[in-house]
Structure 1
Amino acid sequence: MVGNEDAYKSRIRAMNWARLRAFHERLVEGRLEGWEPGKAFEYLVLRAFDLEGATVKWPYITAVSLSESGGETEQIDGAIYVDGLACIVEAKDTADTVDIAPIAKMRNQLLRRPSSAVGLIFSRGGFSRPVTTLVKFVAPQTILLWTGDEVAHALKHRTFREGLNTKYRRSVEQGLGLHDVLEDNT
């Protein structure tokens, strides 16, 4: 598995904006080969932030010790450090809407981290209504949701960093986690 992760990282880091957009188009159309399910979307999101100057921690596994009897591991899709924000990433590469389970998982991951950490969940298929309701009530954790349309928009305009800052600012001001960065409602 580690060998694959190193290969994925090497392949995605060789991509500039134009190649990343073409990669995304092939991903959406289902014409991507040589990637395990879900991995291409994870690496695409991280590379976009990387291209905008964020410090990126590529997907990794970390030990979680919840008791004396030993621990479990958790798989983290990545971490992003930019503009004073420290974020952990969850990417869902599915055409279906994401339901509550990834929100609960992210909330639990954030509970084990400093309170200033922000959770970012990216879903190509968007989010179910229960998710958009639940994310309003996970405080004090901050979980920001990104739809597939927002990812496509941010890729086209090279605005992942700006989108993150807009979502975070609106979350602070309005107490909500789902903010459409496709519209400017400032």
Structure 2
Amino acid sequence: MPTALEYERRITCYDWDELLMLWNQIQLGDTPDWERGKAMEYLVLRAFHLEGAEVIYPYSVVIEEEELEQIDGAIYSNGLACLIECKDVAERVNIEPLAKMRNQLLRRPASTIGILFSRNGFTYAAISLAQYIAPQTILLWTGDEIEYALQSRQMQQSLLKKYRFCVQQGIPNYRIQAEEGG
């Protein structure tokens, strides 16, 4: 299996068209050059990076020589500091990744938000829980929203819209396409 550095080197060569091709492969479950789930993690981060966001590729938090956390990435965009979690699974994501991210956010400055990307969406329980995880904020992105943001090359703008809607309405799963008419 490639190392994290090899994955990072590979993805930083991708342009928008190559990211869209990779996204299609992810949706088909056909990413033979990537360890399970890694293609989506690196794709999301690269898309933000192409728009000028500062990204930190997947990393581990080690305390006293023990791995405490494995983080799928971090994004600094439009004044937002975000921890990333990606779920490239066939089923809709349930509450467990939200609980894990909430715990990760508890160890971070209060202004840090979480973003949970799921290729196949979220269960009703996960969507409900995300609305009541306070004071942490965890924004939810579905596969359709990822695809829309990739096609329109608006990852940062979409993030900002989702964040502002969450600030105003308290709803972390705002559908970015609905406002765009897509």
TM-score calculated relative to the size of structure 2: 0.95
Mapped contact 1:120–1:146 kept (Cα < 8 A): yes
Separation in structure 2 between the aligned mates of residue 24 and residue 72 of structure 1, nearest angstrom: 30
Aligned length: 180
Sort the Cα spacing of 1:71 and 1:15 in 2 relative to 1 into closer, same or farther, 3 A: closer
Provide runs of 4+ in structure 1 moved above 4 Å. Answer: none
The unaligned stretches of length 5 or more in structure 2 are none
The residue aligned with 2:140 is 145
The residue aligned with 2:90 is 95
The unaligned stretches of length 5 or more in structure 1 are none
Query: Within 5 A, what are the aligned runs for 1:10-159?
Result: 10-64=9-63, 72-159=67-154
Sort the Cα spacing of 1:64 and 1:172 in 2 relative to 1 into closer, same or farther, 3 A: farther
Which digits, 9 at most, give the CA deviation of each residue in 1:96-132, with x for residues without a partner? Answer: 1000000000000000000000100000010000011
Separation in structure 2 between the aligned mates of residue 81 and residue 47 of structure 1, nearest angstrom: 13
Separation in structure 1 between the aligned mates of residue 130 and residue 39 of structure 2, nearest angstrom: 25
In the alignment, residue 107 of structure 2 is paired with which amino acid? Answer: R
RMSD: 1.5
Separation in structure 2 between the aligned mates of residue 101 and residue 146 of structure 1, nearest angstrom: 16
The residue aligned with 2:176 is 181
The share of aligned pairs that are identical, in percent, is 49
Q: Are residue 161 (structure 1) and residue 156 (structure 2) matched?
A: yes
Separation in structure 1 between the aligned mates of residue 62 and residue 5 of structure 2, nearest angstrom: 20
Separation in structure 2 between the aligned mates of residue 180 and residue 13 of structure 1, nearest angstrom: 28
